[in-house]
Amino acid sequence: MLRLGTREFAAGEPVIMAIVNRTPDSFYDQGATFDDGPALERVERAVAEGAAIIDIGGVKAGPGQEVDAGEEIRRTAGFVAEVRRRYPEVVISVDTWRHEVGEAVCAAGADLLNDAWGGVDPKLAEVAARHGVGLVCTHAGGAAPRTRPHRVVYEDVMADILRTTVGLAERAVRLGVRRDGVLIDPGHDFGKNTRHSLEATRRLGEMTETGWPVLVSLSNKDFVGETLDRPVKDRLIGTLATTAVSAWLGARVYRVHEVAETRQVLDMVASIAGHRPPAVARRGLA
């Protein structure tokens, strides 16, 4: 069972997490949802298309303009409160590595802290425990926030992923975070080159076998672009192929830009696996 906010997700139920970037320099949308109006429209559309989680981020993942904790809070906390007011049932996640931001967004109504930088601020898990919210424990290979990988080497990338994410998850539970609110994430692209991210996808079953629910953040990432030699705006097909593989291997939560397309992929995989009946069944029956 996965329990986030007021929602409970059954074992094996795939969950879509829609990305809403409150940044002027997002790698994908270049600031399209930086202002409140377009951001709220994005939330409305994502919920209508089937997203159960809205993931709000106030800092671009890659290098760029310096954003201190105060500015990150300004970009996220008030928006969290407004989304909470408009959508009381939606799960609100905030993509942050800073405990100060975690405190502010939890007070505003967040249900989940998405720590994409692998516990670089150990106090963030303490915040999650104190507020009774969930936590995403990610592998970033020890990279500092907002840095790109440079000649990263692993003896066994999946062994490192498992050691890091399971260790962070177990620590979170010891601190008081609910076990059914903790997820682990292999951290595609974070502290990894393209071959590392491909191997992490290929061996994702080793993560799902741990029993911790697995979140994958695949959407339009560089490893997809390099694998297919495609620019950011032309990575949807590669993203959806990777999503299908991840679903077959048991991932639970999918952090995405394109909600409707991801929903179709997840439904198709679930039907092939025998977990979901076809929406209609007319062929050969008339």
Instruction: List active site positions.
Output: 221, 255
Cα(209)–Cα(186) distance, integer angstroms: 13
Q: Which of 253, 230, 232, 140 is nearest to 189 (CA)?
A: 140
In single-letter form, the type of residue at position 51 comes to A
Q: Which of 210, 202, 233, 203 is nearest to 220 (CA)?
A: 233
- Give the three-state DSSP class for 164: helix
Task: Give the pairing of strands 134-138 and 7-9.
Answer: unpaired
How does 225-252 read in b/e, with b if 16+ C-beta sit within 10 Å? Answer: bbbeebeeeebbebbbbbbbbbbebbbb
Distance (Å) of CA 195 to CA 99, 132, 147, 188: 32, 37, 18, 10
Distance (Å) of CA 74 to CA 42, 71, 80, 85: 19, 5, 10, 18
**Residue 108: how many CA atoms within 13 Å on its side-chain side?**
24
Q: Which of 264, 260, 243, 263 is nearest to 42 (CA)?
A: 260
- Say if CB 78 and CB 100 are below 8 A apart: no
- Give the three-state DSSP class for 83: helix
In single-letter form, the type of residue at position 98 comes to R
